[in-house]
């Protein structure tokens, strides 16, 4: 399949397609990657819950939500003043913070520990947030529930969490399907593998959802900002020496940079899709010809974020790394609509 269903290069000012009449509400909404994906697929996104005031401010500026709750999901779950709309949702979406399950993190060492993390100010046991999300699904009883997380959730000892999550959704009244999807096969210029739990409420008795994506891989050469020929000024650093000696696609540093910070640098391969964008500011991609990091325009295209997105004071790469690529969500939402909702309308 060479034709892409959704364009990775787009602008918020272009507007969204006509609504299909289905309502979505989000949790852990961050910069609104999923929000934009649902809107691109025709869904009406009502807003969501976000713990970090600065991130919520960026979300509000870009998406103008009908409902926006700036609080911990645990506090949101206690609310008794929610509008009726939220009890009649077609779809509930959420991406519980996943650093506890990432293969790049401390994994088991952090399971069960309370931490203050950058996305908010409250102490939270990160691996428990998935179950707080399930509790919300049980409370609101939407027709469909979608939960996204890192690939590490289905690897090693973390698999035990998958069984607990599945049992939690079943106890909440849902049939569960688990998918491992790669954004690169879905029209996103990024190798980003993510796990998706997609659940249908038991009373709907819908068929199993079929998800297969085989869109043409988008190479870095196709999204490169060819006008950016600037280079970092200091070429006497270990970073430069590593970059100079490395081959395209090769990781040339993964320990400590010149300022003593942990990082992971990779020289891009223009004949391949860019690797997963992460929120860690130290970990990044470098151009293969010019001694520079990828710029904002390139990262927006890599993540299928709109080029006119207003990041305000937030570092673009950080917000993008924290967010689900809009086109990834749009592809899934489009299939949910065509396979489940069209046949039941």
CA-to-CA separations, 202 to 135, 142, 173, in angstroms, rounded: 16, 11, 6
CA-to-CA separations, 156 to 133, 152, 228, in angstroms, rounded: 23, 8, 42
Nearest-Å Rg of the Cα atoms of the chain is 20
Instruction: For 58-118, give the DSSP string.
Output: HHHHHH--SEEE-S-HHHHHT-S---GGGGS-SEEEE----TTT-TTS-GGGGTT-EEE-T
Q: Report d(CA 156, CA 143) in Å as an integer.
A: 32
Q: Report d(CA 279, CA 168) in Å as an integer.
A: 29
Antiparallel, parallel or unpaired: β 193-201 and 144-150: antiparallel
Which two structure tokens, joined as six digits, stand for 345?
């309308």
According to DSSP, residue 251 is labeled E
CA count, 13 A, side-chain hemisphere, 62: 27
Q: Is 199 a catalytic residue?
A: no
Q: Report d(CA 160, CA 67) in Å as an integer.
A: 35
Q: 198 in helix, strand or coil?
A: strand
According to DSSP, residue 248 is labeled T
Q: 216 in helix, strand or coil?
A: coil
Is there a contact between 138 and 171 (Cβ–Cβ < 8 Å)?
A: yes
Q: 231 in helix, strand or coil?
A: coil
Q: Which of 30, 98, 199, 300 is catalytic?
A: 98
According to DSSP, residue 233 is labeled S
End-to-end CA distance of the chain: 29
Residues with a catalytic annotation lie at 98
């Amino acid at each position: 399949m060479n034709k892409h269903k959704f364009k990775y290069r787009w602008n918020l000012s272009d507007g969204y397609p006509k609504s299909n009449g289905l309502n979505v509400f989000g949790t852990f909404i961050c910069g609104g990657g999923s929000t934009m994906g649902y809107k691109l697929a025709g869904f009406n996104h009502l807003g969501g819950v976000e713990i970090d005031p600065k991130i919520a401010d960026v979300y509000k500026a870009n998406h103008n939500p009908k409902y926006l709750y700036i609080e911990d999901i645990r506090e949101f779950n206690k609310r008794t003043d929610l509008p009726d709309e939220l009890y009649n949702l077609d779809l509930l979406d959420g991406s519980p913070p996943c650093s506890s399950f990432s293969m790049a993190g401390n994994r088991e060492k952090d399971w069960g520990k309370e931490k203050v993390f950058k996305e908010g100010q409250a102490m939270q046991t990160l691996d428990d947030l998935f179950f707080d999300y399930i509790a919300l699904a049980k409370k609101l009883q939407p027709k469909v529930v979608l939960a996204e997380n890192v690939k590490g959730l289905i690897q090693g000892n973390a698999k035990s969490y998958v069984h607990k999550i599945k049992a939690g959704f079943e106890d909440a009244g849902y049939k569960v399907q688990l998918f491992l999807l790669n954004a690169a096969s879905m029209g996103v210029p990024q190798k980003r593998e993510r796990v998706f739990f997609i659940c249908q409420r038991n009373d709907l008795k819908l068929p199993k959802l079929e998800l297969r994506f085989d869109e043409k891989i988008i190479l870095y050469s196709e999204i490169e900002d060819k006008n950016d020929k600037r280079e970092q000024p200091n070429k006497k650093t270990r970073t430069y020496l590593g970059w100079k000696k490395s081959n395209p696609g090769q990781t040339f540093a993964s320990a400590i940079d010149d300022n003593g910070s942990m990082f992971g640098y990779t020289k891009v391969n223009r004949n391949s899709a860019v690797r997963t964008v992460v929120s860690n500011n130290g970990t990044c991609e470098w151009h293969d010809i010019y001694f520079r990091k990828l710029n904002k325009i390139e990262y927006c295209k890599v993540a299928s974020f709109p080029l006119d997105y207003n990041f305000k004071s937030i570092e673009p790469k950080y917000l993008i790394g924290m967010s689900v690529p809009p086109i990834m969500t749009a592809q899934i939402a489009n299939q949910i609509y065509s396979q489940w909702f069209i046949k039941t309308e």
